[in-house]
Amino acid sequence: MASKGGTLLYSGGVTATTWLDRRDVYVDPNTVKELWTDVAPFLTAVSNWSTKSDLKDPMYKMFEHRNPWIDQRFTCADTDTLTTGDTEYTVTLPAQVNTAGSENTFGLGTARASHYAGLVCSVHSADSNSGVSVPSADRKGVVLITTYTSGTSINVKRLSDAFTLVSGDWFVVIGNAFGENSVSPEAWADDLKVVWNQTQIMRTPIQVSNILKKAVLRGEPNELIRLNQMKGSEHKIQKNRTFLFGSSLLGTNLAYGDTFTDSLITDTNSEPVRTTLGAYEALIRYGSTSGANQNIFSITEASYTYDNFMDDMEKCFAYYPEDGMKTMFCGAGMISYWSKLVMAKKSEWGIYLSDLKRDQLGFNFKFLETPHGIIQLVHDPCITKNHAYNKTGIIVDKNNVFHAIFEPATFKQNILTDNGYIGQKNEYYSDEGIGMTTLPAHKYFKIV
């Protein structure tokens, strides 16, 4: 069939003037769609929970106290049968160990002393909890400590039926008792602990030539405004990553073994560099994988059982929040795992996952309902599908974390003027960090 002739839109192909210069193929030339809208939920949440903006120094210390009365117990090193009523028995004690993970004394001070006298204790066999010695369920007997004799022995009288002590048995404090005409016992107290961190200088520059700045463009008509907005988001998300994954040689003393010191590293110009230690790093460095204060939980995806889930959730909610809810910032892989688990085990396990909701702070979340409490699951864009921590989640206790600001985020314009520079350089600048206290309140979950 013959052509009807005339000029065509497609005439001449991609080298023709019509294609190169005349066709306007932009449906909305001044609108650009962004992939991510909620760029920094962890930073947003922490900033709204608590912000300390009146810092007097970029290095900061915090007091914390872990109440000793929560868990008061110690082990014995004796094998003896307590048979006769109102008879005083000498019980040998092992050398006191206060090292984290190997403790044989809890909640009774860093050294034994006469404040042990008058304590009433239930005696339990030692059981194993993930390799850590803990008191077994049923008590063997009950005793009154009548006399503190030395750092290696005490005298006791039984308050129950006869029973036999075994080396390694736990004495769990259940109260105290004194005679009618007694005097006040020896007082004791533990001291406050100190933890710390430091802020980190973060700088994000923007630079364009004057020619590009004045040009009228499609997509975004003003390139400087576009870059200012893009780099503002970059500065924010890098703070978010820093608060999650940042590391510091200074440490935080959350395990009470660090040394507070000044400037540990320098840059290429020998200038001191301060860095803040983030939440993930704090738990990886100082967290515990077992015991009553376990806060690192490894989920074996192929063999995770209901028993494992209940044990993990029990420890996760050991320090119960007032509203019964904890917030987990996690990767998509962690949310996918909980979703698969709920679909496969919903009726069997009694766990539920809510529909997608929107937080008033501007990010999406789902509620994971467990028998011990509710976990608010928030996908953080910093933890993408290809991120090393995609199948992980971190719970930070809102009462024990804060956003530390030595110098707030500022936008500085036209900072490069030397030698008649024909252009403009701007910069986002901040000196900020994160503060964390009472590590057992924070939790780290990972799928392995």
The answer, yes or no, to whether residue 157 has pLDDT greater than 70, is yes
- Mean pLDDT (whole number) for 279-305: 91
Within 8 A by CB and 6+ apart from 327, the residues are 45, 365, 375, 376, 378, 395, 396, 398
- Pair 70, 171: CB distance under 8 Å: no
**317 — phi, psi (to 5°)?**
-105, 25
User: What percent of the chain clears pLDDT 90, i.e. is strictly above it?
Assistant: 61
The answer, yes or no, to whether residue 321 has pLDDT greater than 80, is no
The answer, yes or no, to whether residue 386 has pLDDT greater than 70, is yes
Nearest partner of 193 among 354, 64, 41, 375, judged by Cα: 64
Q: Give the mean pLDDT of the chain.
A: 88
- Mean pLDDT (whole number) for 102-130: 90
pLDDT band at residue 35 under the 50/70/90 scheme:
very low
Please give the Cα distance from 258 to 164 (Å, whole number): 42
- Mean pLDDT (whole number) for 183-193: 91
Predicted local confidence at residue 240, as pLDDT: 94
Token reading at 282: 């704090």
The answer, yes or no, to whether residue 338 has pLDDT greater than 80, is yes
pLDDT band at residue 28 under the 50/70/90 scheme:
low
- Mean pLDDT (whole number) for 203-227: 89
- For 407-419, letters b (16+ CB in 10 Å) and e give eebeeeeeeeeee
The answer, yes or no, to whether residue 118 has pLDDT greater than 90, is yes
Residue with tokens 């959350």: 254
Nearest partner of 297 among 332, 337, 240, judged by Cα: 337
**Per-residue CA distances from 22 to 1, 7, 8, 418 (Å):** 30, 14, 13, 41
User: What percent of the chain clears pLDDT 70, i.e. is strictly above it?
Assistant: 93
The answer, yes or no, to whether residue 195 has pLDDT greater than 50, is yes
- Residue bearing the bigger pLDDT, 3 or 344: 344
Predicted local confidence at residue 36, as pLDDT: 45
Instruction: Return the minimum-mean-pLDDT range out of 170-184, 250-264, 348-362.
Output: 348-362
Q: Where are the beta strands (DSSP E) in 380-422?
A: 392-395, 401-412
pLDDT band at residue 38 under the 50/70/90 scheme:
low
Please give the Cα distance from 253 to 418 (Å, whole number): 45
Please give the Cα distance from 246 to 237 (Å, whole number): 13
The pLDDT tens digits of the residues spanning 232-250 come to 989 999 999 999 999 999 9
Give bridge partners of residue 150 from the DSSP assignment: 153
Instruction: Return the minimum-mean-pLDDT range out of 97-101, 160-164, 260-264, 434-438.
Output: 97-101
- Pair 196, 260: CB distance under 8 Å: yes
143, amino acid identity: V
The pLDDT tens digits of the residues spanning 407-416 come to 999 999 999 9
Instruction: Return the minimum-mean-pLDDT range out of 5-14, 215-224, 235-244, 392-401.
Output: 5-14
Max avg pLDDT among 137-151, 210-224, 356-370: 137-151
Nearest partner of 207 among 408, 34, 413, judged by Cα: 413
Predicted local confidence at residue 365, as pLDDT: 87
pLDDT band at residue 31 under the 50/70/90 scheme:
low
Instruction: Return the minimum-mean-pLDDT range out of 90-99, 329-338, 361-370.
Output: 361-370
The answer, yes or no, to whether residue 169 has pLDDT greater than 90, is yes
